[in-house]
Homo-oligomer: A and B are copies of this chain.
């Protein structure tokens, strides 16, 4: 099957010099033709184009990048490429960036949470700008990093910093969800906490605290968990043991894991137990029962991050963070308590 003997030159390709020689013109002229500058004699342009076709010449992007001082590439750094939420954000960024003539370089900080800054710097050096999603690094580290990697846009960081930001109002979201549950009679609710140190988790805490003050009659318990299906699955028994009538997953993945564990244990949702998530990933409506959740359009978050970054690159001033307010999507995983 398809053996090529010997070494393989990476399809080296013709350079602008090859074209210039073959066409008997200067490289400047070739460059002008390639870039559609109108100031080239029609006959010469035609001749150059023919040679370009014959040789299959394509300008080197990296040479252009060095010469022009820009790569037309934007970096996107996420904590976990396997997480549907970040996949959606990536999708949104890619769509709008592509429409603007940019390509997307992705990176996943999962393997190297401590090296977030180094990773971001590395990605930034290969691109014109970066979008960083839910960075876990602390505020000081972030502040020290920012000036080195401008232009940069941040997704889900609450501190005011010198960078455009788009944030999902997780605190308000969890509070709204709590009120929904409380309105249905739930008096003991367990919240499955997300990754420690994550911005979203901190926001949840604020939301829960606010609800605690607003509803002293309600018992709000918290359990360390995480952000994956497996973590949600694993924490189920513990959550159940709290005697709560409702479980709030840090995100839909966690809630889906809880749902699966409930099925394994023969606990009926929502009759025996209400379960809710956060994010409204595409599968939330397909679970059984369909998951009640707080919806946020993460593709639009991605698109917005791109637009904010683009504006910054053009030197426009931003007027504060772009805030997405999650909206409650009641489905079938919640029952009132008797």
Report chain B residues within 8 Å CB of A91: 81-82, 108
Question: For A260, what are the chain B residues with a Cβ–Cβ distance below 8 Å?
Answer: 285-286
A100-130 interface bits toward B, Cβ cutoff 8 Å, 1 = contact, 0 = none: 0001111110010000000001110110110
Question: How far in angstroms is the closest Cβ of chain B from A28?
Answer: 19
Instruction: Determine if B108 and A105 form an interchain contact, defined as CB atoms under 8 angstroms apart.
Output: no
Contact for A8 among B285, B287, B312, CB less than 8 A: B312
Known: A11-B150, A58-B125. A162 touches B103 (CB 8 A): no
How many residues of A sit at the interface, in one of the four size bands?
A: 35 or more
Write out the residue numbers on chain B whose beta carbons fall within 8 Å of the beta carbon of A65: 62
Q: Is A282 in contact with chain B by the CB < 8 A criterion?
A: yes
Is there an interface contact between B285 and A286, defined as CB atoms closer than 8 Å?
no
Taking the full assembly, how many copies of this chain does it contain? 2
What's the nearest-Cβ distance from chain B to residue A127, in Å? 9
- Asked if A147 is at the interface (CB within 8 A of a chain B CB), the reply is yes
Residue among A82, A299, A318 with max Cβ neighbours from chain B (10 Å)? A82
Residues B63 and A10 in contact, CB atoms below 8 Å apart: no
Check B66–A256 contact: CB distance below 8 A.
no
- Nearest B residue to A260 via CB reads B286
> What residue in chain B is nearest A126 (Cβ atoms)?
B61
Contact with B along A286-313 (1 / 0, CB 8 A): 1111000000000100000000000011
Which of B90, B95, B151, B282 has a CB less than 8 Å from the CB of A10? Answer: B151
Smallest CB separation, A165 vs chain B (Å): 9
Contacts A8-B151, A260-B286, A282-B229 given; indicate if A1 touches B60 (C-beta within 8 A). Answer: no
Cα–Cα, bound, A98→B256 (Å): 30
User: What residues on B are CB-neighbors of A288 within 8 Å?
Assistant: 287-289
The answer, among B61, B229, B321, for a CB contact under 8 Å with A286, is B229
The closest CB in chain B to the CB of A88 belongs to: B82
Closest to A282 in B: B229
Q: List 13 other contacts, CB 8 Å, given A60-B66, A62-B65, A256-B286.
A: A2-B161, A2-B162, A10-B313, A11-B149, A71-B126, A73-B126, A82-B87, A82-B91, A103-B106, A103-B107, A104-B105, A106-B106, A283-B287
